[in-house]
């Protein structure tokens, strides 16, 4: 027998607007890391905000759970339905228009299904920069970037997605629409409502469009791979660069030797640019948005590296710059080629991060003999991907079986250092236990109250972000 609400949803979006069977549907049911797999009777692909609102209205009427999905590159299973087979997936990919670019006002208005690369390209064609920079930019979507409050490699200078949003258009859980796309830098007329939806991972509303900040394009860049003795030396280098270059410092990424080895081994075109092997490396970049600085930033970078790094390679042309960046950006891909990996996305205060790496690293060495630490990432933000890579010729299933214990130990240590178990990847369905363990009852109660106010029936991305109350 046909299910009337599902038939109504199909009729609403038309034949081009849904999938209910076939291999294509599979792509929507599994997350990028293949940690989560769900079931769903229907993937909806609405064509515009009006259709999204009507879809939500029908779902609200029948209490059907809705799982919003962007590029499906998220790391926490936030875009994957549960296995009840009752939740519909709402994929935003057809809302992919650049609505407006205002170079004078440094703003761009885009639909949620635009990929990040598309938005960066649109900005560039107007001689502006949209600075969010992630390895997944060709696939992830602006709606997903907003919903996860994405970070990446330019946060040091431009902030996370939250800092880049001027306004949002959002469909609420009852189908009403907040049309909040004003490109205003200042607006104190009551609560900044759009802020609520940034980082809410589809649990409070569905983002259908965003008005984003643009910046002048850097006209000059100085990029280097520096070798440093240890993370403490990297932090000293960071401090020296900040002092010398101020806001021109846009990237500061830590990589251990293993990251250089794995990328050189598994990624075509990547090679270690040094003739000696070092224990730790930093990819750093200064960028100037006006040409008035002459050779300034290159000289600044070279001087600081001469004083604070063990060795350094400074890119002298675009090709060399791209080669250095490729090494950093392909670390996750190289890790995948090299076997299983137990991942953490943590942040601690920068002042204690070197001590944290030492203590947590010693624990890994002593307790995970079949794993090797590969702690890399956004040191300039205090954010590390504190990953443990399966050693070659070890048993992946045995290695992964200890993941819960390892997560618990590392996250407890992070908490003791005043840090967070999720710096930029969010919670999804992966980190619900961590929410329960590390968030205070008061924080959780306030979050539940917000959820109750905006989605009293609990139809928006059920089972994500918030652990069930009282369990």
Binding site for ligand FAD (CB under 6 A): 32, 67-75, 78-79, 92, 112, 134-136, 140-141, 143-145, 147-148, 150-152, 201-202, 206-207, 332, 424-425, 428, 461, 464
**Residue with smaller CB distance to ligand FAD, 140 or 373:** 140
Positions in 125-154 near ligand MLT (CB under 6 A)? 135
**Could you tell me the smallest distance in angstroms from the CB atom of residue 400 to ligand MLT?**
16
Q: CA-CA distance, 471 to 467, in Å (whole number)? A: 8
**Residue with smaller CB distance to ligand FAD, 169 or 220:** 169
Laid out side by side, the sheet with 206-213 consists of: 98-102, 107-111, 206-213, 165-171, 177-180
207 binds, among ligand MLT, ligand FAD, none (CB under 5 to 8 A by kind): ligand FAD
Tell whether residue 377 is a contact of ligand MLT (CB under 6 A): yes
**Among 87, 2, 90, which Cα is nearest to 40's?**
87
**Could you tell me the smallest distance in angstroms from the CB atom of residue 204 to ligand FAD?**
8
Tell whether residue 339 is a contact of ligand MLT (CB under 6 A): no
Q: CA-CA distance, 259 to 273, in Å (whole number)? A: 13
**Residue with smaller CB distance to ligand MLT, 167 or 332:** 332
**Residue with smaller CB distance to ligand MLT, 264 or 457:** 264
DSSP one-letter string for 301-349: HHHHHHHH-SEEEE--SHHHHHHHHHHHHTHHHHHHHT--EE--EEE--
* CB burial string 184-223: b at 16+ within 10 A, e below: eeeeeeeeeebebbbbbbbbbbbbbbbbbbbbeebebbbb
Strands 18-19 and 371-376: unpaired
By CB atoms closer than 10 A (0-12, 13-18, 19+), residue 35 is middle
**Among 295, 285, 128, which Cα is nearest to 222's?**
285
**Residue with smaller CB distance to ligand FAD, 133 or 298:** 133
17 binds, among ligand FAD, ligand MLT, none (CB under 5 to 8 A by kind): none
**Could you tell me the smallest distance in angstroms from the CB atom of residue 426 to ligand MLT?**
11
**Residue with smaller CB distance to ligand FAD, 273 or 428:** 428
Rounded to 5°, angle at Cα 154 from 152 and 156 = 105
112 binds, among ligand MLT, ligand FAD, none (CB under 5 to 8 A by kind): ligand FAD
**Could you tell me the smallest distance in angstroms from the CB atom of residue 169 to ligand FAD?**
10
Q: Give residues with Cβ within 8 angstroms of 53, minimum separation 6.
A: 171, 175, 176, 177
Q: CA-CA distance, 357 to 337, in Å (whole number)? A: 25
DSSP letter at 470 equals T
Q: Is 48 left (phi over 0), alpha (psi -120 to 50) or beta?
A: beta
199 binds, among ligand MLT, ligand FAD, none (CB under 5 to 8 A by kind): none
**Could you tell me the smallest distance in angstroms from the CB atom of residue 118 to ligand FAD?**
12
Q: Which of 143, 202, 273, 332 binds ligand MLT (CB under 6 A)?
A: 332
269, 340 contact by CB (below 8 A): no
**Could you tell me the smallest distance in angstroms from the CB atom of residue 76 to ligand FAD?**
7
DSSP 3-state assignment of 90? strand
Tell whether residue 5 is a contact of ligand MLT (CB under 6 A): no
- The 290-329 site mask, x for binding ligand MLT (CB under 6 A), equals ----------------------------------------
**Residue with smaller CB distance to ligand MLT, 40 or 383:** 383
Q: Which residues pair with 88 in a beta bridge?
A: 66
**Residue with smaller CB distance to ligand FAD, 380 or 428:** 428
**Could you tell me the smallest distance in angstroms from the CB atom of residue 10 to ligand MLT?**
36
Beta strands in 161-297 (DSSP E): 165-171, 177-180, 206-213, 215-216, 220-228, 249-256, 280-288
Number of residues that bind ligand MLT (CB under 6 A): 5
**Residue with smaller CB distance to ligand FAD, 198 or 354:** 198
DSSP letter at 218 equals P
**Residue with smaller CB distance to ligand MLT, 298 or 420:** 420
- The 382-411 site mask, x for binding ligand MLT (CB under 6 A), equals ---x--------------------------
Which residues make up the interface to ligand MLT (CB under 6 A)? 135, 331-332, 377, 385
């Amino acid at each position: 027998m046909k299910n009337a609400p599902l038939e109504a949803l199909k009729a609403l979006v038309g034949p081009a607007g849904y999938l209910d069977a076939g291999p294509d549907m599979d792509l929507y049911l599994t997350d990028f890391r293949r940690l989560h797999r769900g079931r769903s009777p229907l993937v909806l692909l609405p064509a515009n905000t009006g259709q999204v609102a009507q879809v939500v209205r029908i779902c609200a009427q029948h209490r059907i759970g809705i799982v919003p999905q962007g590029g499906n590159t998220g790391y926490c299973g936030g875009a994957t339905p549960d296995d009840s087979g009752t939740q519909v997936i709402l994929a935003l990919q057809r809302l992919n228009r650049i609505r407006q670019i205002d170079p004078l006002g440094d703003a761009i208005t885009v639909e949620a299904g635009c990929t990040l690369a598309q938005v960066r390209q649109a900005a560039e064609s107007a001689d502006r920069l949209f600075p969010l920079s992630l390895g997944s930019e060709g696939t992830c979507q602006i709606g997903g970037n907003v919903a996860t409050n994405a970070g990446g490699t330019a946060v040091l200078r431009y902030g996370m997605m939250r800092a880049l949003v001027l306004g949002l258009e959002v469909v609420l859980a009852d189908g009403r629409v907040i049309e909040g796309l004003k490109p205003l830098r200042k607006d104190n007329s009551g609560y900044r409502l759009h802020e609520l939806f940034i980082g809410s991972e589809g649990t409070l509303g569905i983002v259908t469009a965003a008005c984003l900040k643009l910046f002048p394009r850097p006209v000059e860049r100085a990029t280097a791979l520096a070798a440093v003795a240890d993370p403490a030396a990297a932090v000293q280098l960071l401090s020296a660069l900040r002092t010398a270059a101020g806001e021109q410092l846009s990237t500061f990424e830590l990589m251990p030797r293993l990251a250089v080895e794995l990328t050189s081994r598994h990624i075509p075109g990547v090679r270690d640019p040094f003739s000696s092997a070092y224990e730790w490396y930093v990819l750093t970049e200064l960028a100037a948005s006006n040409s008035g600085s002459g050779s300034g930033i290159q000289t600044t970078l070279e001087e600081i590296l001469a004083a604070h790094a063990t060795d350094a390679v400074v890119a002298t042309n675009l090709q060399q710059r791209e080669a250095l960046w490729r090494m950093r950006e392909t670390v996750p891909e190289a890790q995948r080629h090299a076997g299983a990996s137990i991942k953490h996305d943590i942040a601690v205060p920068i002042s204690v991060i070197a001590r944290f790496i030492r203590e947590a690293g010693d624990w890994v060495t002593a307790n995970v003999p079949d794993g090797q630490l590969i702690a890399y990432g956004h040191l300039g933000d205090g954010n590390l991907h504190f990953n443990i890579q399966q050693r070659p010729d070890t048993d992946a299933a045995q290695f992964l079986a200890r993941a819960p214990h390892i997560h618990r130990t590392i996250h407890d240590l992070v908490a003791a250092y005043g840090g967070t178990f999720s710096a930029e990847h969010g919670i999804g369905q992966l980190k619900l236990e961590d929410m329960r363990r590390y968030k205070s009852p008061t924080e959780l109660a306030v979050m539940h109250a917000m959820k109750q106010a905006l989605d009293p029936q609990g139809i928006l991305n059920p089972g994500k972000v918030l652990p069930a109350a009282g369990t």
